[in-house]
Amino acid sequence: MAGRNVPVHDRDYIAVMPEDEIRGKVAQYRGWIESDRRRGLETHALEVEYCYLAEELQLRETRKRNHVEFMRRNPQAFDDYYYDAN
């Protein structure tokens, strides 16, 4: 059976979406996928959109974690950049 109409998000748009909006859409799409599977509906289009959103969220979490680790290991990095620029 055919599934629901899926809102398609451009990758450039996803890249600038607020993180809380991405989290909300990931949860929403996950719920839709589970619901549609139980009802025997097609979920491929939902899964594709879910993957794009989840990937962006994962990239942001990894970037944030790497930044925190970098700043922990290089506490002078900000000071050197900031004071050398002025």
Q: Is the pLDDT of residue 79 over 70?
A: no
Q: What is the pLDDT of residues 9-65, one digit of tens each?
A: 888 999 999 999 999 999 999 999 999 999 999 999 999 999 999 999 999 999 999
**CA distances (Å), origin 9, targets 13, 16, 45, 54, 56:** 7, 11, 12, 12, 12
| Residue 83 confidence (pLDDT) | 59
| Residue 46 confidence (pLDDT) | 94
Residue 23 CB coordination number (10 Å): 15
Token duo for residue 21 = 């909006």
How far apart CA 56 and CA 59 sit, in angstroms, is 5
* pTM as predicted: 0.78
Instruction: Please tell me which of 3-12, 51-60, 76-85 the model is most confident about, judged by mean pLDDT.
Output: 51-60
